Amino acid sequence: MNQDKVRHYVNDALAKSEVVIYAILGGLLSVTAFVALVSAGKPLWENLRHWTMAVQTLHVLDDLLVVLMLVEILHTVRISIHSHVLVTEPFLIVGLIASIRRILVITLEAATLTKGGSWSGEAASGVFRESMIELGLLGVLVLVFVFSITLLRRCSTSEKPETQ
């Protein structure tokens, strides 16, 4: 009987420490997302004021997608605190956002390289080949993430009992 009390006490202490750690993690993620949002908003505001938006598009878009990933991770932490269950779907969504973010960054970098007139020679063909391989792999990864999310949603809806 004494052993059961010790197990119960240790379990309660670990559960409370888990919630505290999740709360601290959530707070740090919130601060990080807010700082990243402000850091993306500042150059956006400056470029809109001076009508030079095309210059910083890549950086602003990259920062905003990082904010979106941080918010999705924060959502996952919130769900974990509430239900004490690790949910898979938000991690898949973060992976999908990260893959799409990288695709956008590669294509925008390629566009800026071609506009600069420095797109010639052996180095350029190597960069092009590597970029195309990475884009192809990222495209497959996006399809895998979308398929996984769809499959996960179908399985979770088929497991729920129908209420009438």
Higher local confidence (pLDDT), 77 or 140: 140
Q: How sure is the predictor about 146, in pLDDT bands with cuts at 50, 70 and 90? A: very high
| Residue 2 DSSP SS3 | helix
CA–CA separation, 70 vs 120, rounded Å? 38
For residue 135, pLDDT beyond 90: yes
Average pLDDT value for residue range 12-30: 89
Separation of alpha carbons 96 and 92, rounded Å: 6
Whether pLDDT at 150 is above 90:
yes
Give me the mean pLDDT over the 102-126 stretch.
Answer: 73
pLDDT for residue 145 is more than 80:
yes
Average pLDDT over residues 108-121: 68
Percent of the chain whose predicted confidence (pLDDT) is above 70: 85
**Amino acid identity, residue 78?**
R
The distance of Cα 94 from the centroid of its chain, to the nearest Å, equals 3
Better-scored residue on pLDDT, 57 or 134: 134
Q: Is the pLDDT of residue 64 over 60?
A: yes
pLDDT band (50, 70, 90) for residue 54: low
Burial grade of 70 (CB within 10 A; 0-12, 13-18, 19 or more): buried
Cα-atom radius of gyration of the chain, to the nearest Å? 22
Q: How confident is the prediction for the chain on average, in pLDDT? A: 82
- What is the pTM assigned to this prediction? 0.69
Nearest 5 degrees, angle CA 36-CA 77-CA 150? 95
pLDDT at res. 149: 92
C-beta separation of 88 from 67 below 8 A: no
Q: Is the pLDDT of residue 66 over 50?
A: yes
